[in-house]
Structure 1
Amino acid sequence: MSIKYTLIERGEPGVVGGGTKKWYAVIKNDGEVTIDNLVEEIEKFSSLSESDIRGVIIALENVIQKKLIDGKIIRLDKLGSFYPSLSSGGAETEEKFNVSLIKGAKVNYRPGKRINDALSTATFTKSK
């Protein structure tokens, strides 16, 4: 299977009227995979029951949430790493900075080597 893409035309950012426009490829998502789908697939490679697999996935989600809120980096070996980051406004001096300048937190994901290697071998097909 290949990754499907479509083309969109984009102008130059910050240029009035868009400047010189060019065509860029963007992924055309091909559906989604739910926890139910993942459980079904994992069952094929495991002797665990559906409820055991589902329980582990839900427990992993809960633990990841807790550790991210604690500011931890979660390294899942070949799967990759999840880590928290934040966005904030700036202050003129360190003394003038206060927590109200923090706009919010988000989760970043850095894929592991196996996932990166898999994507490096992906093929691409233009969507019709």
Structure 2
Amino acid sequence: MRLSALREEDNNNNLLNNLNMIKYSLVMRGEPRHPERPKRAFASAQCIKTLSLEEVARHIRAHGCAYSTGDFIAITKMLAEATAKLLKEGYQVELDDLGKFYITLGCEGAESMEAFQPDRHIKEVRVNWAPGEAFGNMREGVNFEESLKRHTERKLLRAERNGDSILEL
């Protein structure tokens, strides 16, 4: 397949991604508890790009927000710091449509309640997020598109770096 055709197809697909398009790749997975069962095909979501706070702020600003990008970034950082502090104080933090943040503990079991020592048995504090209403039905209004396999993408990048115009798949 010609590299230019693959790249053009990918660019066209990226334009569609802005219209609620989730890319996925297919992976074969087995059941760890039942290794004798045949593997089955599952979709695995593919990320186009990780957006920075500044990029999200610019996106919100471009869609009619009255606050400046700098204001949004400052408020978001203050919100993150306050949320972390409040979680450490034992609160759950509900942020309306954004959702609720709360903590759980990763522990090693003790022989008895009397033998339990927090410094020894509590191994980690995990921050969890329960989506709010804005994330209600993420499946609704979304289209799905299978993306190139990761090994095909690597071959494509390698061929482009080498200046090849044709890629053997």
RMSD: 1.5
Written as runs of structure 1 = structure 2, the 5 A alignment for 1:51-66 is 51-66=70-85
Q: Which has the higher strand share?
A: 1
Over the matched positions of the two proteins, sequence identity in percent amounts to 30
Distance 2:78 2:88 in 1: 16
Written as runs of structure 1 = structure 2, the 5 A alignment for 1:79-98 is 79-98=98-117
Q: 1:126 aligns with which of 122, 131, 146?
A: 146
1:29 aligns with 2:47: yes
The Cα of 1:50 is off from its aligned counterpart by: 2.1
The Cα of 1:14 is off from its aligned counterpart by: 4.2
Written as runs of structure 1 = structure 2, the 5 A alignment for 1:1-128 is 1-14=20-33, 18-19=35-36, 20-44=38-62, 45-99=64-118, 100-117=120-137, 119-121=138-140, 122-128=142-148
The Cα of 1:46 is off from its aligned counterpart by: 1.6
| Higher Rg | 2
Structure 2: gaps spanning 5 or more residues:
1-19, 149-169
The Cα of 1:105 is off from its aligned counterpart by: 0.8
Q: Which segments of structure 1 move beyond 6 Å, counting only runs of 4 or more?
A: none
| TM-score, length basis structure 2 | 0.68
